[in-house]
Amino acid sequence: MSSPAPKTKKTSAVSPCKTMRGHTSSVLGVAHLPGGQHIITCSYDGSLRLWDLESSTQIGDEWRDEWDEMEVLTMALSPNGKTLASGSYGGTVRVWDIKTGKVIARWEVDTKWATSVYWSPDGERVASGFSDGTVWVWDVKTGEPVKGLNPIKTVFEHVFAASYSPKATMIATGGRDKNGIEIWVAKTGKLLSTIKVNWAVWCLTWTSDQKKLIAGISNGLIRIFDTATWQQIAVLDEHKDGVYSLTLFPNDRLLASSSRDQTVRLWDLDTNLQVASPFQHENDVSYAAFSTNGKLLSTACYDGNAYVWDVQAILKTAGIEDLLSIPHVSINSTPTRYLIPNVRARPKNLNSTRRYVSSDGSSRMKHAYVPLAQDIIRRMFYLFLTLMLIVTLTYKVNATRRPPIRPAPRQVPAGFFDNVQGSDPVRYRPLNLSCSLTSMLLVIHCQPPPPPYSRTILGITPTCAPRSPSPTLPPFPTQC
């Protein structure tokens, strides 16, 4: 059973640190380029624009397709950051080269508009949703639809989201009319599961471990589903109107959502609580995107502007900067000066909590994490103590152990073999091995010792009766 997240206290309003002005109509998408220096925006005015974050100015001319100037409704940056896919009115999907700002591929479907575009994790395919309720998957290298997969026919009148899972095994789709979420096998296009939702699903995103699917709903709720059972496990309910976009930071702990209620909100997915104050805008917020290192969040607004927010400063003020810790960051994607040291990475097992107070006086419980270096040192110290204990116990056991009791050596009385017949060494010259084995007889004629006699064996002295004389046997043969 899911339960609504508890309310958080309101804090002081926050303001953007940068504003990009230049589009002549609503800005519907934004993306941070690798390196942390530039962002790209798309707009209902039919253009894409490249911006410098430091100066908040546009770089070069606006990007437009020479074939037409239809409104650009959505866009998505490829995993390697070198290309960008966009969807427009007229059902056209385009792939742009980031360096040149030119269209390098163009795909068209006979429908009114392309409502969503998503890249596969390996960057080899693009899944796009359309207003006719279909999803098409394109091969980027060949520029053709993937054979045997297209189109995927959903139950929706309009497909607003078609998102690849992180392992590229599934595609989740959401839309309008017959509300809900459909899960498809990515390779075959076979329907795997259906999740019932009472309102239209506007956006979808997965956690990087593929264990959770998060959906933005048209009634303002954010629903979280367990992908093992496809059951709802949590609801985030602070938005007052439909949720346009969901952006998850790579550590799976910090979620940003943009909404028609003119706000962007940050969520701590460890507690499913909203953190900091809403980022208030003057109009609907169509999209939000984190920078690679998470320090900045860019938002696209219906007022024709794009805004940049200093997330690190906002979280630091609230005392929860550790939400930006990440396991690893690609060296090629972000300069070293932008990286946040991973000294407070979340362990798998949370064993303690502590209470902290934010700047507005509100208090919350926060997990007390053990820094990675300290954890390694602690484990090595415990291992050393264990080894020392084993060595000490072994030494003490050996020191207190009684020596083994060994039997006394058997002693033969002097002259025991003096009267043995055939003891003359001359009679025992080396044998001729060519003789028959059947003729080899070992004859030892023993004269009994003077009775009685005794021998000491293991401390026991038995008294033996005199032996009877043995019969005289032929002497040992010396020749064959």
For residue 199, what pLDDT is reported? 93
Banded model confidence at residue 48, pLDDT cuts 50, 70, 90 = very high
For the stretch 463-480, pLDDT in tens is 444 544 544 444 444 444
Q: How far apart are CA 158 and CA 130, in angstroms?
A: 6
Q: What is the pLDDT of residues 439-459, one digit of tens each?
A: 444 444 444 555 444 444 444
| 243 contacts 231 by C-beta, under 8 angstroms | no
Token readout for 318 is 């609230």
User: Of 194-198, 235-239, 378-382, which gets the smallest average pLDDT?
Assistant: 378-382
Out of 222-226, 313-317, 333-337, 429-433, least confident range: 333-337
Give domain 18-346's CATH number out of 3.10.180.10, 3.40.50.2300, 3.40.50.11810, 2.130.10.10: 2.130.10.10
- Distance (Å, rounded) from C-alpha 216 to C-alpha 261? 13
Domain ranges (residues) in the chain: 18-346, 420-480
What is the rounded CA–CA span in Å between residue 204 and residue 244?
A: 10
Task: Provide the whole-model pTM.
Answer: 0.66
Is 147 in contact with 189 (CB distance < 8 Å)?
Answer: no
**Which secondary structure element, helix H or strand E, spans residue 108, and what is its range?**
strand 102-108
Cα–Cα separations (whole angstroms), residue 411 to 76, 416, 454: 98, 11, 10
**In the prediction, which pLDDT does 349 show?**
37
286-319: pLDDT as tens digits: 999 999 888 999 999 999 999 999 999 999 988 8
Average pLDDT along the chain: 78
